[in-house]
Structure 1
Amino acid sequence: MHNGTNRRAPEIKQDSASIKGAFADFMGAFEAFRETNDRRLGELERRASGDVVTDEKLARIDTAMDEHKRVLDELVLKRARPSLGRGGAESMETLEHKGAFESYLRHGDEGRLRQLEAKAFSYGSDPDGGYLVPDELDAEIGKRLADISPIRSLATVRQVSGAVLKKPFAVSGMAVGWVGETEARPQTDAPKLAEMQFPTMELYAMPAATASLLDDAAVDLDGWMTAEVEAAFAEQEGAAFVNGDGVKKPKGFLNYPTVDNADWAWGKLGTIATGAAGAFAGADPSDTLIEAIYALKAGHRRNASFVMNRKTQGVIRAFKDADGHYLWQPPASADGQASLMGFPVVEAEDMPDIAEDADAIAFGDFKRGYLVVDRAGVRVLRDPYSAKPYVLFYTTKRVGGGVQNFEAIKLIRFSA
């Protein structure tokens, strides 16, 4: 254990130095952005139009900021990856399952794994459906998905053993009333309930390995499997949680019916228009952001976040308040989040770009507003035949999702 720690120390030190350098580069780009944008605004005040050279420089700096932030995010994510099964005591059953699973991955030996899972009455013991991965690997995939799938990291996540989660919701709130100490308690009106269903759909990935990789005892197969699967799962999940149509995939929050927020009703998401088609309003563009913030009830507003893609965030970076302060602020630390008017900004590249009638910005309490449903267990089926000389690992999990509280999320629509 002592030797392993010594080997790991230089790695951690190097990662920390890289993150520190990347964060410094990002903050330097932000300072250059502010200086150049202030110069551009000064030029606009002195004459009707800005200088083309200054505008081009601002666009280049904005792009550089996005690139520095991307590199920084990747470095922070890499450092956050824990080593699987390295800490704490493990039961004999856990160690036995891990050993049997690794033997299955490397050599296709399914005898021990089948016996263990049959003994545990596991529904994953059917070789045609694959075998359940060890608990550590399952938990690691789930954790990393939360790190790199932005909506999952914001939403409520529930794990179920069945195919569908059914959830009642009191649309009109709980019925209550005031009474005196000795007075009779009259029956209250029955609350209006809505039953919401969140089915889980199958999500799969199929990483391939060479025989030499599987034969190399020094290769950490748990780590390799996690790295191969998590990015593929997170990419598909992230797109579905935003834009999914609910057919063989989760239903994204942008795929629900919408209505002007003044006419909001249950079952629809309220929208706030910018006042200009495909753009923010020419005068006081930040007023739309303020309107979206106060469109939420106070209870939802406390834990709310802005969700948008990098391109939209680039437009908002230039906004100032009446005192000349920038509304968008960079993260205070390397693993922190940028903020807009005091609320976190979450980057979701599956959000649409600013365009006419596009709902390019969402604002809300996604913990209350959106629900992610995971069916317990990740399965792996080894296939050495379909793509010789490679061995395929058909890896599946079941996941669902949808809006669970329609008043907790608002959308900013770029329309007149």
Structure 2
Amino acid sequence: MAYAEDINKTIEELGGAFNEFKKTNDDRLTTLEKGDALDGLVEGKLKAINDKLSELEKLKGQFEELETKANRPGSTFGGKQQNAEYEKAFDQFVRKGKTDQIDELKTKAMQTGNDEDGGYAVPEQLDRQIIDFGRDQVVMRSVCSSQTLSTPDLKKLRKDGRATSGWVGETSPRPNTDTSQLKPITTHWGEIYANPEATQTMLDDAFFNVQQFLLNDIGEEFSEQEEAAFTNGDGNLKPVGLFAYPRTTQSDDVREFGKLQYLDTATAKLEADDLLKLLYALKRKYRTGARWMMNSTSVGQVRLMKDNDGNYLWSPGLQAGEPSRLLGYSLTENEQVDDIAAKKAPISFGNFKRAYLILDRIGTRVLRDPYTNKPFVSFYTTKRVGNMLLDSNAVKVLQIKGG
């Protein structure tokens, strides 16, 4: 195992840091219980250890991801070998602006070609690498369901209402029962763009990897925009983020589809009981595969919490492949989520794969522009992404009570 030693070393450091964290926090709590004033150095030390725990968690995850990739067999993306002829033609388009080879291939219908604005589709392998890059970089992609499409015409139906049933005797009349209706789920699409630039000198260099350049620059830009959109997007020229859907306190049996249930904290301060209440508000059938989501500041706060028996609610993953857990469930950090503050919704718990679907349209397009910002060559790149809310019962949200 290429990274086994690094993983084990990080786990050892993580365990040691957590023991130090518990001792320091226990001493802090003892001081508070005695009514003594806290030494500012203690608070500073606790924050430093908390930050170290976050860094070690992230490092462990990175090593585990590298280990997984190192052991992953090669893939040809569903068994389709990359069209080398189109890849060569695309390379000439990016480097020199030559379009004759791509146009010829398009005429022969060997590869998807230009769009209405004159841009050209990137090679299929690069297109899929851009999508895969997003799965590695965008938290929402890593925990939600995703699907890649060649057209925007995905149709999914949901049940509205439920069929009724009952018990009858052998010769009793069979009364009519209510039946559920099937209704389509709304899809929200948006077009995301990036505009990476390179000098012509770079493009003329035979050792300059054109596709890697596009992948890195486009992937980074797309990832930042996607994280914000899939979390809180308002649906205006972009997907509707999971936490942008309307929220209500109504329970699952009366709440209409498309609204998330939220629970208020008991007071203006987050307590351990609030987390337990949120966990059990999620029906049992969703709790298999469920996880917490909050930002790193909130993670630092919940690490301090204990149950009524004095046990910490949060525990680090001290085995390879084992995530850190909060009340027995894994935890995902998303910096787009609210901080802990009055009337904000900083914490959610649910089965995100059952709740939210991310859609990718195959056909990332590139328009080459050597004129607007000389001596740089710009590559205006667009890609269509969308979303569906699959099940609004699958995620619950905790809201901090207003002061």
Normalized against structure 1, the TM-score is what? 0.84
Matched, 1:358 2:344: yes
In the alignment, the residues of structure 2 paired with residue 331 and residue 163 of structure 1 have an alpha-carbon distance, to the nearest angstrom, of: 40
Contact 2:162 2:179 in 1 (8 A): no
Matched, 1:270 2:278: no
Aligned residues: 398
2:24 maps to what in 1? Answer: 36
SS at structure 2 position matched to 1:200: strand
In the alignment, the residues of structure 2 paired with residue 187 and residue 101 of structure 1 have an alpha-carbon distance, to the nearest angstrom, of: 63
In the alignment, the residues of structure 1 paired with residue 401 and residue 392 of structure 2 have an alpha-carbon distance, to the nearest angstrom, of: 21
Q: Structure 1 regions of 5+ residues with no counterpart?
A: 1-11
In the alignment, the residues of structure 2 paired with residue 218 and residue 101 of structure 1 have an alpha-carbon distance, to the nearest angstrom, of: 16
Matched, 1:403 2:394: no
1:146 maps to what in 2? Answer: 135
Contact 2:194 2:221 in 1 (8 A): yes
Name the stretch that deviates more: 406-415 or 329-338: 329-338
Question: Which of 290, 299, 303 lines up with 2:285 in the alignment?
Answer: 299
Deviation, 1:214, is 1.6
In the alignment, the residues of structure 1 paired with residue 100 and residue 116 of structure 2 have an alpha-carbon distance, to the nearest angstrom, of: 10
SS at structure 1 position matched to 2:266: coil
Contact 2:350 2:395 in 1 (8 A): yes
Contact 1:261 1:272 in 2 (8 A): no
1:5 maps to what in 2? Answer: none
Contact 2:95 2:204 in 1 (8 A): yes
1:120 maps to what in 2? Answer: 109
Matched, 1:309 2:300: no
In the alignment, the residues of structure 1 paired with residue 250 and residue 39 of structure 2 have an alpha-carbon distance, to the nearest angstrom, of: 39
Matched, 1:238 2:224: no
SS at structure 2 position matched to 1:104: helix
SS at structure 2 position matched to 1:359: coil
Contact 1:240 1:252 in 2 (8 A): yes
1:271-350 map, 5 Å: 271-277=262-268, 279-280=269-270, 285-333=271-319, 336-350=322-336
1:37-76 map, 5 Å: 37-70=25-58
Matched, 1:222 2:211: yes
In the alignment, the residues of structure 1 paired with residue 317 and residue 304 of structure 2 have an alpha-carbon distance, to the nearest angstrom, of: 16
Deviation, 1:49, is 4.6
Contact 1:370 1:403 in 2 (8 A): yes
Deviation, 1:239, is 0.6
- Residues 120 and 38 of structure 1: CA distance in aligned 2, closer, same or farther (over 3 Å): farther
Deviation readout 1:66-91 (Å, 9 max, x if unpaired): 34445555666667678xx9866997
Deviation readout 1:198-252 (Å, 9 max, x if unpaired): 1321001111112232222223322222111112111111111111101011111
Contact 1:241 1:402 in 2 (8 A): no
In the alignment, the residues of structure 2 paired with residue 339 and residue 178 of structure 1 have an alpha-carbon distance, to the nearest angstrom, of: 44
2:191 maps to what in 1? Answer: 202
- Residues 51 and 130 of structure 1: CA distance in aligned 2, closer, same or farther (over 3 Å): same
> Residue 247 of structure 2 aligns to which amino acid in structure 1?
T
1:132 maps to what in 2? Answer: 121
In the alignment, the residues of structure 2 paired with residue 174 and residue 230 of structure 1 have an alpha-carbon distance, to the nearest angstrom, of: 46
> Residue 255 of structure 2 aligns to which amino acid in structure 1?
A
Contact 2:122 2:364 in 1 (8 A): yes
In the alignment, the residues of structure 2 paired with residue 179 and residue 138 of structure 1 have an alpha-carbon distance, to the nearest angstrom, of: 58
Deviation, 1:131, is 1.5
Deviation readout 1:306-356 (Å, 9 max, x if unpaired): 110000000000112233322112233566532111111011110010010
In the alignment, the residues of structure 1 paired with residue 81 and residue 276 of structure 2 have an alpha-carbon distance, to the nearest angstrom, of: 57
Name the stretch that deviates more: 356-365 or 164-173: 164-173
In the alignment, the residues of structure 2 paired with residue 325 and residue 29 of structure 1 have an alpha-carbon distance, to the nearest angstrom, of: 17
Question: Which of 147, 154, 158 lines up with 1:169 in the alignment?
Answer: 158
Contact 1:274 1:288 in 2 (8 A): yes
1:109 maps to what in 2? Answer: 98
Contact 1:165 1:199 in 2 (8 A): no
In the alignment, the residues of structure 2 paired with residue 120 and residue 180 of structure 1 have an alpha-carbon distance, to the nearest angstrom, of: 66
In the alignment, the residues of structure 2 paired with residue 227 and residue 115 of structure 1 have an alpha-carbon distance, to the nearest angstrom, of: 29
Contact 1:157 1:373 in 2 (8 A): yes
Deviation readout 1:142-171 (Å, 9 max, x if unpaired): 122112111112212123333454432103
Deviation, 1:28, is 4.0
SS at structure 1 position matched to 2:240: coil
In the alignment, the residues of structure 2 paired with residue 143 and residue 106 of structure 1 have an alpha-carbon distance, to the nearest angstrom, of: 24
In the alignment, the residues of structure 2 paired with residue 206 and residue 376 of structure 1 have an alpha-carbon distance, to the nearest angstrom, of: 19
Identical counterparts, % of pairs = 37
Deviation, 1:181, is 10
Name the stretch that deviates more: 188-197 or 399-408: 188-197
SS at structure 2 position matched to 1:219: coil
Contact 1:163 1:199 in 2 (8 A): no
1:6 maps to what in 2? Answer: none
Contact 1:305 1:365 in 2 (8 A): yes
Normalized against structure 2, the TM-score is what? 0.87
Q: Structure 2 regions of 5+ residues with no counterpart?
A: none
2:178 maps to what in 1? Answer: 189
